[in-house]
Amino acid sequence: MEHNLFGRIMETIEQQYKGGGPPHHDASAQEIVNSSSTRSRIFVTMQEKTIQLSMTQTQEIFRHRHVLETMSMPQHSPFDRQALMKLGSLMAIRDIQGLYQLVYVFKCY
């Protein structure tokens, strides 16, 4: 049953493919201006280009699409208590993939 449902979902998704690839692989996904030719709801760009966008252009992109920034270097952040606290309370209950609730407890010595 689940396999059939998954197959139908994939067929629906793949109907949007052009040339065998998903819409965000299309050249129109990199166009700043959202037009009728823009097939993807994902704007694909590189960090250097993102920095050059005006505030108005950035708002217009976010108004219609999600942003996928490629070739960007993440800032170095150590994997420690302080870094994890940036994500939220360490004592909060987290819902992982909608199936389980896990409580993380960190002991600092």
Q: What is the pLDDT of residues 41-91, one digit of tens each?
A: 899 999 889 889 999 999 989 888 999 988 877 777 788 888 888 878 888
Q: Which residues, including other chains, have CB under 8 Å from residue 17's CB and lie 6 or more apart?
A: 23
Count of structural domains, the chain: 1
Is there a domain that residue 105 lies in?
Answer: no
Is there a domain that residue 95 lies in?
Answer: no
Is there a domain that residue 84 lies in?
Answer: no
Instruction: Tell me the residue range of the domain where 31 lies.
Output: 2-70
The answer to whether the pTM exceeds 0.85 is no
Is there a domain that residue 58 lies in?
Answer: yes
In the chain, the percentage of residues whose pLDDT exceeds 70 is 83
Is there a domain that residue 86 lies in?
Answer: no
Is there a domain that residue 102 lies in?
Answer: no
Q: Which pairing describes strands 93-96 and 100-103: parallel, antiparallel, or unpaired?
A: antiparallel
In our burial notation (b when 16+ CB lie closer than 10 A, e otherwise), range 51-60 reads eeeeeeeeeb
